[in-house]
Amino acid sequence: MKLCIALDMPTMQDNLALAREISRSFSNEEIWLKVGLRSFVRDGKAFVCMLQDLGFKIFLDLKIYDIPNTMLDCVYECHKLGVNMLTIHASCGREAMRALATFTHTQSLNMRIVAVSALTSFDEDGFMEVYNTSIARGVQSLANLVNESGIDGLVCSINEVSLIKNISSNLLTITPGIRLTATNDDQKRVANVKEAKRVGSDFIVVGRPIYNAQDKYAVIQQILSDM
């Protein structure tokens, strides 16, 4: 299991300060950094390069969702940026995912592509409203598509990790919504680190519990200990 720290703070300076603090205190091999939409739109490629200069592997979380050709063009540009992992939406469909998988394999790109299954902000009612099925059935269907298409894995809550691993143990599972204590925020399907480890998550994504903490070092150390 790897810890991926989400850099979603209000300014690039805040995010860089945290990244530098992490790089001074922890091994770059055990921690990845996630750059999401907010940070990438605001701070762009230059910000990604600054993080890479600190020695971190980068998870670029753009959740790409478009027609196959447009997604291919975007994946190529992300590859040129040298990121290590990239998100798309599994609901883009078989044609798009198969095209992306074929492209990355034939070009031997050193970048994992993982597909978002059900956003962790969805509860059962919200997912049913959009997908007309339960979360479990929807994720199972999407995971089968991902596996058949050759994409590397899925982003999911810990509730779906076992379901996905039963389809293929080779599928990576990336689990956001990790909380250290009970919270009342926009994430509906949350879990703690030990639960994620128990079900077999490959990556856990943690943001607010770290950067909202007074002692960020202690929180990261506790997460790594629980892992």
- CA dist 104 and 113 (Å) reads 9
Sign for the pseudo-dihedral over CA of 187, 189, 192, 196: negative
| Residue 78 CB partners (closer than 8 Å, separation 6+) | 60, 62, 86, 111
Of 184, 177, 139, nearest to 157 by C-alpha is 177
Q: How far apart are the first and last CA of the chain?
A: 7
Q: Which residues are catalytic?
A: 63
